[in-house]
Structure 1
Amino acid sequence: MRSATPHNDPQRVIQWGMVGAGRIARRFAQGLAYVPDAQLSAIWSRRAEPAQALAAEFGGEACADFEALLASGIDALYIATVQDSHADYAIAALQAGLHVLCEKPATINRPQLERVLDAARTAERLFMEAMKPPFYPLYRKLRAHLSAEPIGDVGLVRAGCSVPGVPHDHPSLSFEHAGGALLDIGIYEMFLAVDWLGAPREVQTLGRLGETGVDTFASLNSLHERGMAQLFCGLDLHGKGDALLMGKAGHVTIHEPWWNPSRATIRYADGRVAELDEPFEGGGLNYETAHFCELIRAGEMESPLMPHSKSLQMIAMADAARVALGLRFAGE
């Protein structure tokens, strides 16, 4: 989709603003050093000190409030806050004429995401959920390899990760901030399922809620347009983070951590084995950011690698899983 006004100079420096100053914000700022013709110009966070510290380290202005950030002359906004605030920040930025790259999950439910996408269409600005795996060199190399030497249509995706020991006061365990394993971790696995298998048709979920009221473990079986997925995510068990793609002529293992992919093994039914090894640089967020900058310069409103349809399909899976677990956040 092409509607936004393109920047005619292909080398024009894209000026970035950032809302939020936590760990993922720091990784984004670090990654910008690996993105050609892009720089951090402005930062705002509810807590002034972390924003000032990031500005001092990476450059840019620490803004006094969110409105000042929107008016700071930036081209694009990266949203790096807790997920219950994503929709409000995204809509405000789009209405202010900015392009928006929003950390995953883009919103906490599908109705919120539909409102964000409506705002993007109305403003004719680019919006993309910051789902990093498809932009990594390994993932792209795997796609190219399977196109040239296929394993047949992928009919099963199996993936999961569970990380125990999360501090009790961490946003991942916060009901107020719409935390939980499904939205914090499972959204990655949901991406992998829809990326290879298409839109979900049915989602079956078992899981449990923890002391704070959010899901601490969930296991999903899902039926898609082109196959089935077996997914898990958790905050109270330790589980391996690799992924499996199965076709009639072979299978692929994306080695852990599959969401920061650097190695994959393809085993063919005829006995052939192919090993892919593709290291990444800059922490990994730089690849999605570089892609986003290219889209801005081209005047695009949607990414072909991370289109709005995938975000809608992913959050629909999360919605269905939360319904099965009886988990509803404030205002839903």
Structure 2
Amino acid sequence: MLGCANIAWRRTLPAFAESSTATVVAAASRDPHKAERFAVRFGCAPVVGYSALLEREDVDAVYLPLPTGLHARWAADALRAGKHVLAEKPLATTASEATELISLAEQRDLVLMENRMFSYHTQHEEVRKLVANGELGELRTLHATMTIPPLPEDDPRYRAELGGGALLDVGFYPLHAALLLLTEPLEVLGADLHRHPERGVDVRGAVLLRDANGVTAHLTFGIEHSYRAAYELSGSQARLVLERAFTPPPSWQPVLRIEAQDRSECRTLPASPQFLNSVNAFTAAVLDRTRPRDHLRTTLRGLELMDTVRAYDHKGRS
């Protein structure tokens, strides 16, 4: 692990430790105390400095939970050092950065993946089957939202130079929900980003999309709100609501709420460890020497949409 981030401590390193196909070898930080803290908990070696980790011959792959603005540099360095890479979402800050990383991974015959963990939860496949079976009728709209409470003052997501802002962080989820549930190509019809007057990063936003079948998607996100992570699909006959859609704990049993004119139904689904599922997908790709091309196409498409949202917002303000 390269970078001792909170998400690694709470969710991803426990998933790696639980996986039967990976061993946590080392945890690197610029702060020796942080490295030691992770090393004690996960039974691995503490490493001071990121470059020192990449020099270790006992490391096959690197998990990279650094701030988004540092992903491109350190993912590239890890690939050049011959390491497979699982980077926290999003893979990069722009589509051009991601394209360069994908090309480098192809050249080195290495696995590169984005930790798009929510998409590995089985609840979304159940939703896709329900829609495909026509239980909602013809699909009309998607509403998706991801909002979290204000962050600590020193949080990297408030720093523009570290790839901060709501769009790259929580905006990732509703955008990728649209990519998961709707039909490409997706077209950006409108976008608005509200920037913090002092920090220079967007703290909330909204996006309007249209898919290839004319289905519209209204996406909202923010980092100074009450918590919500949900989406709603409306069809010609019924609508579906899924709460805790993006960040459920491993023991959470999702509930699909389906509402029609003359009935309301709740379907409880099995729990699904999405972080472990994501980790296992990565290790399977490494062990099988398979190229996750579909995964990376979605990664790149998500960043292209984010680029378009920023350009659309900038144009609207100029």
TM > 0.5? yes
Q: Could you tell me how far apart the structure 2 residues matched to 1:280 and 1:245 are?
A: 21
After superposition, the Cα gap between the structure-2 partners of 1:267 and 1:97, relative to the gap in structure 1 and judged at 3 Å, is: farther
User: 2:204 corresponds to which residue?
Assistant: 217
Q: Does 1:118 align with 2:103?
A: yes
SS in 2 for 1:166: coil
Q: 1:248 — aligned with what? A: 236
Provide the C-alpha distance between the structure 2 equivalents of 1:269 and 1:121, rounded to a whole number of angstroms.
51
Match of 2:268 in 1: 276
The answer on 1:292 being equivalent to 2:282 is yes
8 Å contact kept, 1:128–1:303: no
Q: What secondary structure sits across from 2:97 in the alignment?
A: helix
Superposition deviation, residue 76 in structure 1: 1.5
Determine whether 1:82 maps to 2:67: yes
Matching residue of 1:318: 306
Change in Cα spacing, 1:276 to 1:112, as seen in structure 2 (3 Å) is same
Change in Cα spacing, 1:39 to 1:273, as seen in structure 2 (3 Å) is: same
Q: Report how many residues are paired.
A: 306
In the TM superposition, what whole-angstrom CA distance separates every residue of 1:71-129 from its partner, at most 9, and x where no partner exists? Answer: 32222211100000101111121222222111011101111011111111111111111
Distance between the aligned counterparts of 1:217 and 1:51, measured in 2? 33
What's 2:224 paired with?
236
**Judging changes above 3 Å, is the alpha-carbon distance between structure 1 residues 318 and 203 closer, same or farther for their aligned structure 2 residues?**
farther
Cα pair 2:115 2:278 within 8 Å, conserved: yes
| Residue of structure 1 in register with 2:171 after alignment | 186
Please give the per-residue CA displacement for 1:274-330, whole angstroms capped at 9, x wherever unaligned.
51322234xx411100111122222211065xx112111211121122223449xxx
Query: Take 1:299 and 1:48, find their aligned partners in 2: how far apart are those partners?
Result: 34
In 2: Cα distance, 1:312 partner to 1:225 partner: 18
Partner of 1:97: 82
1:200 is aligned, of 186, 199, 213, to 186
1:40 touches 1:60 (CA, 8 Å); kept in 2?
Answer: yes
Alignment partner, residue 2 of structure 2: 19
Matched, 1:44 2:44: no
Instruction: State whether residues 153 and 248 of structure 1, in contact with CA within 8 Å, keep that contact through their aligned partners in structure 2.
Output: yes
In 2, the alpha carbon distance for the partners of 1:176 and 1:285 equals 28
Change (3 A) 1:152 1:299: farther
| TM-score in terms of structure 1 length | 0.84
1:176-199 per-position Cα deviation (integer Å, ceiling 9, x unaligned)? 212111111001111001111233
SS of the residue corresponding to residue 170 of structure 2 reads helix
Q: What residue in structure 2 maps to residue 8 of structure 1?
A: none
SS of the residue 1:289 aligns to: helix
Say whether the 8 Å CA contact 1:138–1:276 is kept in structure 2.
Answer: no
How far the C-alpha of 1:231 sits from its partner, in A, is: 0.5
Q: Percent of counterpart pairs with the same letter?
A: 23
Q: CA deviation at 1:245?
A: 1.9
Instruction: Summarize the Cα distance change of 1:94–1:215 in structure 2 as closer, same or farther, 3 Å threshold.
Output: same
Give structure 1 regions of 4+ aligned residues with deviation exceeding 6 angstroms.
none
SS at 1:185 equivalent: coil
| Cα deviation digits, residues 166-215 of structure 1 (max 9, x gap) | 22221111122121111110011110011112332224112311020000
* Inter-CA distance 70–29: structure 2 relative to 1 (3 Å threshold): same
Report the equivalent of 1:137. 122
Between the aligned partners of 2:138 and 2:55, the Cα distance in structure 1 is: 48
Query: Structure 2 vs 1, CA of residues 293 and 149 (structure 1 numbering), >3 Å: closer, same or farther?
Result: farther
Structure 1 CA distance for aligned equivalents of residues 259 and 157 of structure 2: 36
- Whole-Å separation in 2 of the counterparts to 1:279 and 1:47: 36
* More deviation, 68-77/178-187: 68-77
Indicate the residue corresponding to 1:28 in structure 2. 12
CA distances 1:24-63 after superposition (whole Å, capped 9, x unpaired): 1212111223312321001212222211210111022122
Partner of 1:6: none
Give the whole-Å Cα distance in 1 for the aligned partners of 2:130 and 2:268: 9
Deviation of 1:136 after TM superposition, in Å, equals: 1.5
Structure 2: state its 5+ residue gaps.
none
> Which of 1 and 2 has higher RCO (CA within 8 Å, sep 6+)?
1
In the superposition, relative to structure 1, how do residues 303 and 53 fare at CA in structure 2: closer, same or farther (>3 Å)?
A: farther
Give the partner amino acid of 2:292. E
Q: Equivalents in 2 of 1:270, 1:302: separation in Å?
A: 44
Letter in 2 for 1:75: D
Quote the residue 1:301 is aligned against.
Answer: 291
> TM-score normalized by structure 2?
0.87
Asked if residue 263 in structure 1 is aligned to residue 255 in structure 2, the reply is: yes
> Partner amino acid for 2:269?
D
Are the counterparts in 2 of residues 219 and 231 from structure 1 also a CA contact under 8 Å? yes
